[in-house]
Structure 1
Amino acid sequence: MNELLNVVDVEATCWSGAVPEGAVSEIIEIGLTVVDLGVRERISKHRIVVRPERSTVSEFCTELTGLTQAEVDAGVRFAQACRVLAVEYESGSRPWASWGDYDRKQFERQCAATGVTYPFRALHTNAKALFSEARGTGRRYGMAGALRIAGIPLEGRHHSGADDAWNIGALVLDIAGRIPWRVTTPATA
C-alpha cells in the first residue's frame, strides 16, 4: 500500500542576537524526505535552496546551518520553491509532517508576508508531539535527543534541512511502529 508522507524541515536566516533592523527570518533551505508509511521506509531525500529577499545569512547562521550567502544567492526565489513543493512533491494533496510546529508556522508567516500561495493543503502532523506520546513522556525532545532515545544514529549534519528531514523521517517510522500515525493540525484553508 502506497501511503506517502512528506517530511519537511526548513532552515531560515537567523542571528546570535537581535534581528538586524529591516531584516526578517526567511526560509533559506527546504529539506524534504518522502516516507512511505505503507511499506515503512524513507524513499527519497530532497533539498531546495531558497534565496532570501529581505535578509542576509549571518556568520552565526552559516556556523549553524552550513549555508553561506553565496550558496543561497544561487537558490530559487521563495515563490518558486513553493511551486516546486506543489508540483514535484504534491504538497497540496499529500499529508506532511515536521518536528514541532516551527516549520508550518514559518511557511504560514512567510507566505502571508510575501503574498505567495501557501503550498500545503494537506493535513500536518507535529511529529515531536507524537514522539512524546509514543514514548509515554510529557517532555518534547529536540530531534537529536529523540534520535538518541530511539537508538537511531543521526545521519549527516544537524541543522541541514535535507539531513534533518531524513532523520525526522526515521523518527516518523519509529513513531508509526509504536502508535497509529495521525494528523495533529487541521488543514490551512
Structure 2
Amino acid sequence: MDSTGGLLNVVDVEATCWDGEPPRGEVSEIIEIGLTVVDLGAGRRTGRHRVLVRPARSTVSVFCTGLTGLTQAEVDTGVGFADACRLLATRHRAGSRPWASWGDYDRHQFARQCRATGAAYPFGRRHTNAKAVFTEAHGLRKRPGMAQALRLAGLPLEGRHHRGEDDAWNIAALVLHLAGRGSWPGSP
C-alpha cells in the first residue's frame, strides 16, 4: 500500500484554551499529542501513544482543565514542543507515514506552532481529513464532531472526549469503519 506497509498515524492534539480570549501575551499551544497507529491492511489499531508537551508561552486555564482533564502540573512534566516534533519524526515515522486527523485543526496548529517556534514540522504531505471523508461517505450535509460520528457509525466512545490519546484511538476506529466500507482513500 505504501512504503510503511499500510500503516497510518491518526493524530489528535489538545492545546491550551480559554473560555473567551486568551490572557494578554498567551497563545494557544499544543499540550498533548495522541497518536494511534492503524494497520489498514490488517484492519486494526496497533499502537496507542501519548506525548505530553510543556507549553512555553501559555498556561493551562481552569476552562482547559475542565475540558481536557489536563492540569498545568501534569503538562509541566512533558517535553518541549521541538522535542515532541522530533519524537514524532523518529519514533513514529511521521515524515514518511501518512497521517489523519479529525478535521484540519491539528494540521494547522502544528504548522502555526512550528512556524512560531522554529521547530521542524514533523509530518509529511500525506494528510487525510477524516471528518471530510466521513461526511462524504455518509452523505451528510454538515461535518459532524467526532462523538456524533461515533454514534452515527454505531461505535462506542472509548475513554474521555477531548483527551488526545483517547480521541486519536476513537478517530482510528472511525478510520477503520470507513476502510471497512471501502470509503477510506486507497482502501479496496
TM (norm. structure 2) is: 0.95
On the 8 A contact 2:102/2:131 being kept in 1, the answer is yes
Query: Separation in 1 of the partners of 2:127 and 2:31?
Result: 21
Q: Provide the C-alpha distance between the structure 2 equivalents of 1:136 and 1:180, rounded to a whole number of angstroms.
A: 12
Which of 14, 37, 42 is matched with 2:45 structurally?
A: 42
- Quick check: 1:91–1:122 contact (8 Å CA) kept in 2? no
Is 1:90 aligned with 2:89?
no
Q: What displacement does 1:18 show?
A: 1.3
Residue by residue over 1:8-46, the C-alpha shift from the partner in whole angstroms, topping out at 9 and shown as x without a partner, is 000000000111100000000000000011111001100
Q: 2:147: which partner in 1?
A: 144
Structure 2 residues not aligned, in runs of 5+: none
1:150 deviation in Å?
0.4
How many Å separate the matches in 1 of 2:10 and 2:175?
Answer: 8
Q: Aligned partners of 2:74, 2:106: CA distance in 1, in Å?
A: 21
| Aligned residue pairs, count | 183
Name structure 1 gaps, 5 residues minimum: 184-189
> What RMSD in Å do the two structures reach over aligned CA positions?
1.1
Shift of 1:177: 1.5
- How do 1:109-148 residues align onto structure 2 when only pairs under 5 Å count? 109-148=112-151
Q: Counterpart in 2 of 1:187?
A: none
Partner Cα separation in structure 2 for residue 153 and residue 67 of structure 1: 23
Contact kept? 1:5, 1:97, Cα under 8 Å: yes
Secondary structure in 1 aligned to 2:65? Answer: helix
Q: Which amino acid aligns with 2:60?
A: V
Match of 2:59 in 1: 56
Equivalent-residue separation in structure 2 for 1:36 and 1:122 (angstroms): 19
Percent of residue pairs bearing the same amino acid type: 70
1: CA distance between counterparts of 2:148 and 2:82?
Answer: 33
SS where residue 110 of structure 1 aligns?
A: helix
Large movers: runs of 4+ above 6 Å: none
Confirm or deny: 8 A CA contact 2:54 2:75 kept in the other structure: yes
